[in-house]
Amino acid sequence: MLLRRAFKNKTIKNAGYLIAGRVIQMIFGLVVGLLTARYLGPANYGLINYAGAYTAFFASICTLGINSVLVKEFVDHPDEEGMVIGTTLLLRALSSVFSACAVIAISSFVDAGEKTTICIVALSSIGMVFHIFETFNYWFQRRLESKVTAKATLIAYAVSSAYKIYLLATGKSVAYFALVTSIDYLCLGVILFAEYKKHNGQALTFSWNYGKSLLSRSCHFIFPGLMVSIYGQTDKLMLKQMIGEAEIGYYATAVSLCGMWCFILSAIIDSVYPSIMEAAKNGNESLFKKRNVQLYAIVFYLSVVVSLGFTVLAKPLIYIMYGESYLPAVNPLRIVTWYTAFSYLGVARNAWVVSKNKQRHLFAIYAASAVANVVLNCLLIPHMGASGAAIASLVAQIFTTLVVPFFIKDMRENSMLILEAISLKGILWHRSDTEVN
């Protein structure tokens, strides 16, 4: 009992550090972000998000699906953490360089003749290489020491925000804003590596045999991740090609506004993730299921409450924060805000999927949803613009989280757990819920 309480308290504190750091980051970033959006205007703001869509599209290839299994790797190989991190860094570095080159090549073909667009896409792609250092974040997450990563993230964000302020003060062109992400990731990587050494992290090594073994476990997440990218980013790419940069600006504004609080969901999921893995490793099925159901319930109902607020207050929020030129983002915001609940249920589901070794089914789930999203975008964007993209994203996410898994036998158990969470069934602790230590 004492061990369980201690673990729970540490988990709560871990989530607290993550949330506190992100709250400060959100407040500071909100002001700078609003000034940036107003300065750039819908068209240039849309262009930056268009470039970001390319890099996000290749995110699953850059990460090689390893992020989804890293915490479990640290749990399973506590004496070989240096090898886990070193191997991950090298594999991700190689894939990131390849992805950056692919992004530039695709943009040069699709956006042929648009020199500014190609330049911004190329500059944005640099950030993918520096993003590999987030690997250290999972090491601290496994140790429930997110206080370190919260501070590091805040410092890195402060540096990148200071860079934005400099650009605003000196009236720089839109191209300079494309480097913001790279500066953020680079600063974060330097700080996390320094903290890793400070916390007596093992020497980093590379093992080809372990690399092959790691990829065999993570590769199942690459294609599902790519499918997620398709229905998460193609809307912006299609808005650019079908309508124009300004429409991306409206849609990106809606997505950004309703997503500004999602760090809370990420912090909760990241902090509960290790405890779910521990329950699975110890063979305590009852505790494992209960923790999953509790996590799903928290994610879903917290999202519903926030989405109701955005639906009611969409117009005054957009007008006050972004100005009259961004008012076309009101309807997309009222629609896409409901995407959050189902999206983060999918993120929370990964703990169950990894523990049950059901990764092989993810491709079918996300592939079906990606196809649905592309088809809906093709039908709705020409007539409804950003609102059409928002509807397509919402429907595709519901399809991914609730509909498709019911048709897969091995995933039906998880779907039932999600429904239990939504119906608030079995989320309370009972005396019979004991841990195996």
Q: Which domain does 100 fall in, by range?
A: 2-422
pLDDT exceeds cutoff 70 at 2: no
pLDDT band with cut points at 50, 70 and 90 for residue 435: very low
Does residue 9 fall inside a structural domain?
yes
Does residue 278 fall inside a structural domain?
yes
pLDDT exceeds cutoff 60 at 219: yes
User: Quick one: 417 exposed, middle or buried, by C-beta within 10 A (0-12, 13-18, 19+)?
Assistant: buried
pLDDT in tens, 356-388: 888 778 778 878 888 888 899 999 999 899 899
pLDDT exceeds cutoff 50 at 154: yes
Residue that is written with structure tokens 């996410």 in the block: 397
Q: What pLDDT does residue 430 have?
A: 46
pLDDT in tens, 239-289: 888 888 889 989 989 988 888 888 788 878 877 887 888 887 778 888 888
User: Quick one: 266 exposed, middle or buried, by C-beta within 10 A (0-12, 13-18, 19+)?
Assistant: middle
Comparing 31-35, 183-187, 250-254, 290-294, which segment has the lowest mean pLDDT?
31-35
pLDDT band with cut points at 50, 70 and 90 for residue 4: low
Average pLDDT for 4-30 = 61
Does residue 287 fall inside a structural domain?
yes
pLDDT > 90: percent of the chain: 16
Average pLDDT for 105-119 = 87
Comparing 37-51, 203-217, 375-389, which segment has the lowest mean pLDDT?
203-217
Q: Which of 72, 419, 70 is nearest to 275 (CA)?
A: 72
171 phi-psi bin (left φ>0, alpha ψ -120 to 50, beta other): left
SS (H, E, C) the chain: CHHHHHHHHHHHHHHHHHHHHHHHHHHHHHHHHHHHHHHHHHHHHHHHHHHHHHHHHCHHHHHCCHHHCHHHHHHHCCCCHHHHHHHHHHHHHHHHHHHHHHHHHHHHHHCCCCHHHHHHHHHHHHHHHHHHHHHHHHHHHHCCCHHHHHHHHHHHHHHHHHHHHHHHHHCCCHHHHCCHHHHHHHHHHHHHHHHHHHCCCCCCCCCHHHHHHHHHHHHHHHHHHHHHHHHHHHHHHHHHHHCCHHHHHHHHHHHHHHHCCCHHHHHHHHHHHHHHHHHHHCCCHHHHHHHHHHHHHHHHHHHHHHHHHHHHHHHHHHHHHHCHHHHHHHHHHHHHCCHHHHHHHHHHHHHHHHHHCCHHHHHHHHHHHHHHHHHHHHHHHHHHCHHHHHHHHHHHHHHHHHHHHHHCHHHHHHHHHHHHHHCCCCCCCCCCCCCCC
Give the count of domains, the chain.
Answer: 1
Average pLDDT for 388-402 = 89
Does residue 20 fall inside a structural domain?
yes
Does residue 433 fall inside a structural domain?
no
Burial 79-105 (b: 16+ CB within 10 A, else e): ebbbbbbbbbbbbbeebbeebbeebbe
Do 161 and 29 touch, CB atoms closer than 8 A? yes
Tokens of 66: 């390893």
Does residue 437 fall inside a structural domain?
no
Does residue 38 fall inside a structural domain?
yes
Does residue 119 fall inside a structural domain?
yes
C-alpha to C-alpha distance for 212 and 214, rounded to whole angstroms: 5
